[in-house]
Structure 1
Amino acid sequence: MKALLEFQDHLQKSRRIVALVGAGLSVSSGLPTYRGTQGLWKNFNMIDLATPDAFYIDPGLVWQFYSWRRFNALKAKPNKGHQAVSQLAQIKGNDYITITQNVDGLQSRSGHPKHNLYEIHGSLFELKCTSFTCNYTDRDNFTNPLTPALADTEYEYDSKRKRRDLDTDQSISPQFRPVKELAELDLPSCPACNELLRPGVVWFGESLLLLVIDQIDNFIEEDHVDLVLVIGTSGTVYPANSYVDRIKLKGGKVAVFNTDIDQDVLEGKVSNTWGFKGDAAETLPLALKPLLEKNPASTTI
């Protein structure tokens, strides 16, 4: 309780705030983090599918994987944590940005203003042309399926096969729906040049968008940041870890909301750092409550 009161006091005094959001915030919305044992889709390693090489070799396979991800993200609803972040982003008189590592679009769909939301890994709902001579981009495309050929690829398992054998009453493994053999003509194509479209996400082996990184760097460097909220992420992956370290080195304080937090942080042994362990979708709104009650959201969430 002492740590919470200290945090809330500093929060209400802060005028420049950064929120760094990770996959843990979307778990309560029904989206897994895709780490460890959850990193498979139809027995394919998800990391292997999220690369430019995979798309070059078999764009039909990769598009089926992303059709499944888009479908599940569309089914999910923004939770109280997303809503709290979006409300914080609308408080007048504060300089504020949200840096999200998520591609699920839930932060945007919760009412977050576009001008101070940075999706550094892209979005499942953005499409980009693969042609080097074409700069076509389609944003906030929530069509499902994107093409008739991708219909029924959104489901990972065959619903006709029950999880228990009716004769023996024994549990059986679910049956994956087979991956379709799709030609490029069956996949999303660019309306400007007819070349193949790709998901607008940053794949493994690709660089983050320099314009976005520059805008974030400018915000952090142009003036002192009072507080960085580390929400549903370990903050150990570049460039996320650099943002936290840079803010802290310049005198800013850190508040971590996650299910996994270093014990020294929880015990208050790390200077200028608070840790609130648990589901960030629940702990964050409670921690922000005094400030948000004073500043109701200007848009409906």
Structure 2
Amino acid sequence: MNKQTLAEFQEHLKKSRRIVALVGAGLSVSSGLPTFRGAEGLWKNFNMIDLATPDAFYIDPGLVWQFYSWRRYSALAAKPNRGHLALAKLSNLPQTNFITITQNVDGLSARSGHNSDNLYEIHGSLFTLKCTSFMCNYIEYNNFKAPLTPALRGTEHEFLKSSLDSESPEFSPVKQMKDSELPQCPVCKSSGTQSILRPGVVWFGESLPMQELNEIDDFLESEEGPVDLILVIGTSGTVYPANSYVDRVRLQGGKVAIFNTDIDESEIEGKDGVWGFKGDAAELLPVVLEPLIGEVKQP
């Protein structure tokens, strides 16, 4: 880590009163969760992007629920790392006006002790369940039950346990499942109808939650003044709306700090109001934020 870059960043950090953190999948890698890029974007030879769509759920809800049963199990087995804990400590400082915008659905930011009032999970959460019926608005938050139904038991593992020690482990087979074996809406069930629950995540082709986006806009355009600093953590920040948040902060005169394993050399040099910290964000954040949050111990 460049000492001059660190010193310049921390000097600005200590003066910052309004801070935004934009979080992507790279922060959760140290917790054992994949980024879904390249070969990590496959599950039992299915492209994960193909499974994360409303069409996929409509065609084969059993298949999609088995995929999300695996994702829920993996996220529950993971623990918040020191990067999550650093942001959680920052979120609870009374003297700092701070929000975290996370693109992750793994729930690790929420489980780290992050102040829920300033945490925006704009892609939803694996642990939120929603009814699929247009006539029902049932939503359940923080459901950590695994598996959700008896039929989903055993789908938490991608590979057969008996083959894990071999050079080519075998995928556990995908089950053929009836709709009645999948998570059911309790409200619809009590009225005598059957409606499947779905994961409360934003699938490809769906709109991001408008209420959360409006609240983020209110923070960025607050009468309290411009944002002093945006932390871009474990994400390229090039996809909308992430890229718009970075641009808006810079247009207001705010500075940018990037924490990622893949950073341009010009960003590492700290030019044009941008500081770059190359490496594992989970280990970098506790170090660079220490002047505000103090020591972050190992989880």
Q: Shorter-chain TM-score: what band?
A: over 0.9
Aligned residue for 1:168? Answer: none
TM-aligned CA deviation for residue 262 of structure 1: 1.3
Q: Secondary structure at the match of 2:163?
A: coil
TM-aligned CA deviation for residue 196 of structure 1: 0.7
- Is 1:236 aligned with 2:211? no
CA distance in 1, matches of 2:142, 2:236: 28
How large is the RMSD of aligned CA atoms in angstroms? 1.4
1:74-97 deviation digits (Å, cap 9, x = unpaired): 000000000000000000022110
CA distance in 2, matches of 1:141, 1:120: 18
For normalisation by structure 1, the TM-score amounts to 0.94
CA distance in 2, matches of 1:155, 1:40: 14
TM-aligned CA deviation for residue 9 of structure 1: 0.9
CA distance in 2, matches of 1:131, 1:293: 48
CA distance in 1, matches of 2:158, 2:286: 33
CA distance in 2, matches of 1:94, 1:57: 47
1:217-273 deviation digits (Å, cap 9, x = unpaired): 1110123000000111111111001000100111000001110111111122x3111
TM-aligned CA deviation for residue 293 of structure 1: 1.9
Aligned residue for 2:208? Answer: 208
Among 64, 68, 80, the alignment partner of 2:70 is: 68
CA distance in 2, matches of 1:137, 1:218: 25
TM-aligned CA deviation for residue 281 of structure 1: 0.3
| Matching of residues 150-229 of structure 1 within 5 Å | 150-164=152-166, 171=167, 173-194=168-189, 195-222=195-222, 223-229=225-231
CA distance in 1, matches of 2:254, 2:11: 14
**Which blocks of at least 5 consecutive residues in structure 2 are unaligned?**
190-194
> What amino acid sits opposite 1:28 in the alignment?
S
Aligned residue for 2:281? Answer: 280
Aligned residue for 1:167? Answer: none
**Which blocks of at least 5 consecutive residues in structure 1 are unaligned?**
165-170
Change (3 A) 1:147 1:93: same
TM-aligned CA deviation for residue 162 of structure 1: 4.9
- Is 1:57 aligned with 2:52? no
Aligned residue for 1:85? Answer: 87
Q: Secondary structure at the match of 1:228?
A: strand
TM-aligned CA deviation for residue 163 of structure 1: 3.8
| Equivalent residue pairs, number | 289
> What amino acid sits opposite 1:190 in the alignment?
C
CA distance in 2, matches of 1:200, 1:277: 33
> What amino acid sits opposite 2:286 in the alignment?
P
Q: Secondary structure at the match of 1:92?
A: coil
> What amino acid sits opposite 2:64 in the alignment?
V
CA distance in 2, matches of 1:114, 1:286: 24
TM-aligned CA deviation for residue 161 of structure 1: 2.2
TM-aligned CA deviation for residue 198 of structure 1: 0.2
Structure 1 residue runs of 4 or more that deviate by more than 4 Å after TM superposition: none
For normalisation by structure 2, the TM-score amounts to 0.94
CA distance in 2, matches of 1:247, 1:156: 41
Q: Does structure 1 retain, via aligned residues, the 8 Å contact 2:5–2:269?
A: no
CA distance in 2, matches of 1:25, 1:11: 20
Between stretches 121-130 and 187-196, larger displacement belongs to 187-196
CA distance in 1, matches of 2:164, 2:288: 43
CA distance in 1, matches of 2:234, 2:46: 26
> What amino acid sits opposite 1:196 in the alignment?
I
Change (3 A) 1:162 1:193: closer
Aligned residue for 2:258? Answer: 256
> What amino acid sits opposite 2:294 in the alignment?
E
1:23-49 deviation digits (Å, cap 9, x = unpaired): 000000000101111110001000000
Q: Secondary structure at the match of 1:87?
A: helix
TM-aligned CA deviation for residue 128 of structure 1: 0.3
> What amino acid sits opposite 2:183 in the alignment?
P
| Matching of residues 135-150 of structure 1 within 5 Å | 135-150=137-152
